[in-house]
Structure 1
């Protein structure tokens, strides 16, 4: 449950998934069709993830099956 995670777990999980599953932030944005690039990616990523997957937790569960979510 998200309330069990320490502050910042969501940003860390997004960064880790971007690197491990997409090859980086730019590739993750490109694969989803999100328009921002460069310094504009960081401020918009959580909104995009929540809109696309329903929540950041749902995003992490898609790419890091139960028991694999790291903090």
Structure 2
């Protein structure tokens, strides 16, 4: 009877260990994905900063030619 308890306990620990390895692998993959996403966000932020800098330098040269609709309407 005691050997059955030892065997079942060992089997349970092996199953838990297996799932721990799977969870660790998924956490590593998630970390890599987050790193890639952070790098993409940083690159996009740098692009926006460059565009904003160019707009700030040449702001007077840009003219808004689009006609904006009137708020009051045309009664």
Using the size of structure 2 for normalisation, the TM-score is 0.21
* Higher Cα Rg, which structure: 2
Q: TM-score, normalised by structure 1?
A: 0.22
Normalized per residue, the structure richer in helix is 2
